Amino acid sequence: MYKSGLNMLRCALRSTAPWKCDSFIWTQTSLCYKSRSFAVSSQLGRKSTRGHALTPVRYYCQSAEEVLNPQIKQTAASPETSELSDKAERTPFYTHLQNCSCPADVLDTVKRFPASQQHLSSIFSRMWESSKRMTDEQRRCELQLMFEHPVFEEVCERTVADAWRMRSDDLAYSLLAIINLGVSQNTRVVQTLLRVTQERLNQFDIRSLSVLASCIREMENSRNAQALREALRLLLKDRIPEIQNVVVLQSMMRAVGKNSPILLKKELANKALSLADGFSPPNTQYMFSSLAAMGLNFKPLLDVCSRKIAENVHEFPFNRLLSVLKSCHELHYRNYTLFSSVSEYVANTFEMWSNRQVILFLVSFENLLFRPVVLLDAFAERIIQKSESLTLKDLLSVLKVFSLLNHDLKEKKTQFLASVTMVLESYLPKMSPTDLLKAIYCLGLLEHFPQTPLEKLLEKDTLEQLLEKGRQSEKIQRWLHTLDLCLRLDKPQLTSVPDLHISVPAPAVTANQEVLSAVRSIVGNDAIQDSVLEQSIYFIDCVITLPHQTEETCDLSAKDSGSPQCAQRIAVVCAPHTSFCFGTTHPRASLVIKLRHLEKLGYKPVLIPVLELNSKTEEEKIEMLHKLIFPAQKSTATQEILNNSQKTE
């Protein structure tokens, strides 16, 4: 195939700019890190440089922002740590290295005991491992000491000089540790390791490739990192059958990313499916995030993992359950059994969860269009009893979830609305106009209009700010338009109702022709008017105009069926599955207020779930529509089916 990893890479990415071993960034920092300069003879590539001038080289850089707010990613501990225990029994250096508790201790040990080329990988890995167990404040201080330590520069220099002689696994572990320690990717030490890794990629075994894959995930999309990612994708095509470890496979899946070929993604997913019988609970959770990292909704694998999580939901901590739900949202994957098991588990162990944790669960469920009834009821009860515990951010999230999911609290609704209104009024002095509009919009979906917050929202200065923002934000404009409709149709008790003069574009939808055809076969052509638009926003697929007695007698041939004195208007509204809570026909979000306002306008709204209708035959569609439009009557089609069934018997 390819004689070397470099040839393979050149074939894959001919447009990639050549790597420059002298490329690095000089970073000015307020912490006054000193760039130590020293001469380096280029022994990197087996060529002598006696004829070249010596150049000062900086082997690492650390900006003030990086030190004050280090983004050190904590990933699973590498096998390098466990190897230290084995090596410690044979080499005194590893014994001392294993006893180091911080990066500075590691560097002090290197200063006291001579380190060979084989030790470099363990030195960086130990520094990274020791820093992972620290608090953020302690880690920041320790990393600052590490970068200022004179031995750190010497270790980086040795790494650059000896990189060409390192084993494949040492290269992978060194690169992973250096990146996670916060060393800039534009420095000589990182770029050298990347260059050597590219050239020797064909020599990497599966374990080293897994470590390298973890490293690539942490790196920015520099040219060398992107080239390495492309080379890894090419190499994986031939190496997938060798992978028998789930963790290794998941590292590969995360590394290939969303831009990899769909065939490679499916090969990795099929390999994971073949190993599914041996999945542990953590494996199932990480499989969701691995598929999300690839951007692949592979339903057979997701279904298997969902079943395993649902069966062992009590074994998963909060952050892992939340990660699963977020991955489902990214992948547009829905599984009613999975969502129900998670929500029921949280509801059954409700006392152990904080407000913030419950709210994060509820927000994730709302993003998935799932209505966790028992959990919503339990949290509403907590809010009624301890409403003062809600922060402003919590309050806005609660209002959003309960309103968009259209959750009916039945006899508890009045108490719940009174509690959240009291909290809302307490935060009025601190709220921005946008937050106040969002809160009133959500309460409007619940048909609740508290007077004090509403009057504050309708103040001249507040409205002017919102109208100005509405010209730039489609969401704010939609909220204002909904508020305007509520003021005119729901008629809340106010001293004066301003005219907001808000207009939005008419919805670009057309009437469902299958529904129209079926409705015409039920009531005839004369009684139907299709594609009706109310209030410039509420689209109705068709309006059936019938005399009042028709609902009882079903005399569709009456001559006065169109008479306004005795007419009844039935608004047939076709709704996609996204307008309902997942797994139900419970309306949600804007559909709720649409149905309520159509009733205010004198219609009897009939909701048609299009997804359910599309799965039926013509006769079943007519029967279903007849039951929805005339629920008190049995359709002729139903009676004929019963009669035919009796004759057959």
538-547: strand order across its sheet: 528-534, 538-547, 567-575, 603-609
Mean pLDDT over the full length of the chain: 79
Angstrom distances, CA of residue 598 to CA of 213, 372, 533, 607: 56, 28, 11, 12
SS (H, E, C) 411-468: HHHHHHHHHHHHHHHHCHHHCCHHHHHHHHHHHHHCCCCCHHHHHHHCCHHHHHHHHH
pLDDT at 23: 36
Q: Among 274-278, 359-363, 545-549, name the most confident range.
A: 359-363
Residue 591: pLDDT band (50, 70, 90) is very high
At 397-445, the pLDDT tens digits run 999 999 999 998 888 999 999 999 999 999 999 899 999 999 999 999 9
The answer on pLDDT for 558 being more than 60 is no
- What lies within 8 Å, CB to CB, of 457 at 6+ separation is 433, 436, 437, 440, 463, 483
CB-CB contact of 335 with 368 (8 Å): no
The answer on pLDDT for 378 being more than 80 is yes
At 203-214, the pLDDT tens digits run 888 888 888 888
Task: State the Cα–Cα distance between residues 325 and 362, nearest whole angstrom.
Answer: 10
CB-CB contact of 370 with 582 (8 Å): yes
| Unique residue bearing structure tokens 């569609």 | 621
Higher pLDDT, 296 or 469: 296
Structure tokens at 422: 């009291």
Residue 41: pLDDT band (50, 70, 90) is very low
Task: State the Cα–Cα distance between residues 609 and 96, nearest whole angstrom.
Answer: 69
SS3 assignment, position 173? helix
For the chain, the residue count is: 649
Structure tokens at 226: 């992107």
Residue 38: pLDDT band (50, 70, 90) is very low
Residue among 71, 59, 1, 72 nearest 33 (CA): 59
336-358 burial, b at 16+ Cβ within 10 Å, e below that, comes to eebbbbbbbbbbeeeeebebeeb
| Unique residue bearing structure tokens 């230290």 | 84
- What lies within 8 Å, CB to CB, of 397 at 6+ separation is 359, 362, 363
CA triple 355-357-359, angle to 5 deg = 65
CA triple 354-357-359, angle to 5 deg = 105
Task: State the Cα–Cα distance between residues 350 and 363, nearest whole angstrom.
Answer: 16
CB-CB contact of 514 with 491 (8 Å): no
pLDDT at 45: 33
The answer on pLDDT for 375 being more than 80 is yes
Residue 549: pLDDT band (50, 70, 90) is low
Structure tokens at 437: 């509009």
The DSSP code for 580 is B
Structure tokens at 50: 């006696």
108 — alpha (psi -120 to 50), left (phi > 0) or beta?
A: alpha
What value does the mean pLDDT take over residues 62-85? 40
The answer on pLDDT for 61 being more than 80 is no
At 110-152, the pLDDT tens digits run 888 777 777 888 888 888 888 888 888 888 888 888 898 888 8
The answer on pLDDT for 346 being more than 60 is yes
Structure tokens at 240: 């997938």
pLDDT at 402: 95
Task: State the Cα–Cα distance between residues 567 and 598, nearest whole angstrom.
Answer: 16
What is the sign, positive or negative, of the torsion defined by CA atoms of 524, 525, 530, 534?
Answer: negative
Structure tokens at 174: 């060194």
Task: State the Cα–Cα distance between residues 306 and 284, nearest whole angstrom.
Answer: 8
Task: State the Cα–Cα distance between residues 330 and 357, nearest whole angstrom.
Answer: 20
pLDDT at 634: 52
At 266-311, the pLDDT tens digits run 999 999 999 999 899 899 999 999 999 999 999 999 999 999 999 9
83-119 burial, b at 16+ Cβ within 10 Å, e below that, comes to bbeebbeebebbbbbeebebbbbbbebbeeeebeeeb
Percent of the chain with pLDDT over 70: 79
Q: Among 47-61, 422-436, 486-500, name the most confident range.
A: 422-436
CA triple 449-575-534, angle to 5 deg = 60
Task: State the Cα–Cα distance between residues 146 and 219, nearest whole angstrom.
Answer: 21
Question: Any bridge partners for residue 545, and if so which?
Answer: 569
pLDDT at 24: 34
Domain residue extents for the chain = 91-242, 431-504, 513-549+565-629
499: phi then psi, degrees, rounded to nearest 5: -95, 115
The answer on pLDDT for 315 being more than 50 is yes
360: phi then psi, degrees, rounded to nearest 5: -65, -40
Angstrom distances, CA of residue 324 to CA of 30, 239, 288, 369, 409: 41, 28, 6, 15, 28
Task: State the Cα–Cα distance between residues 176 and 121, nearest whole angstrom.
Answer: 10
Cα dihedral value 186, 192, 195, 197, nearest 10? -110
Strand 567-575 and strand 603-609: the pairing is parallel
The answer on pLDDT for 51 being more than 80 is no
